[in-house]
Amino acid sequence: MKSLLKTMVAIMILLSSSAINAQIKNSKTTTVKIYGNCGMCKKTIEKAANLQNIATVEWNKETKIATMIFDSVKTNQEDILKRVANAGYDSENMKASSASFDALPSCCQ
């Protein structure tokens, strides 16, 4: 059952990335691990990372993997991860400050 769910999620990401790629020029796709715990984390991570017509990030709560599609002329993975870190979330490449982490709800810490 879990493998079916993972397969369905992967298909949804691929289909949505095709539609998103049409809107984002100079698109580049990467994945990165971002540490979070719950649905509230997903909402906050994606809100911090997404920029209309520049970057779209889909974070998977189960795998902790974020799929990033972004305009490589206007932004990069490091800038996106800085916004996520400023929202309080660590990634495999960047740490959040203690102040931003402490500001998260207890379920997200």
What are the pLDDT digits (tens) for 19-38? 444 577 889 999 999 999 99
* Mean pLDDT, range 41-70, rounded to an integer: 96
Question: What span, in angstroms and rounded, lies between the C-alpha atoms of 4 and 23?
Answer: 29
Lowest mean pLDDT across 3-12, 49-58, 66-75: 3-12
Q: What is the pLDDT of residues 57-74, one digit of tens each?
A: 999 999 999 999 999 999
State yes or no: pLDDT of 84 exceeds 50: yes
State yes or no: pLDDT of 1 exceeds 70: no
Residue 78 is encoded by which pair of tokens?
A: 């490091």
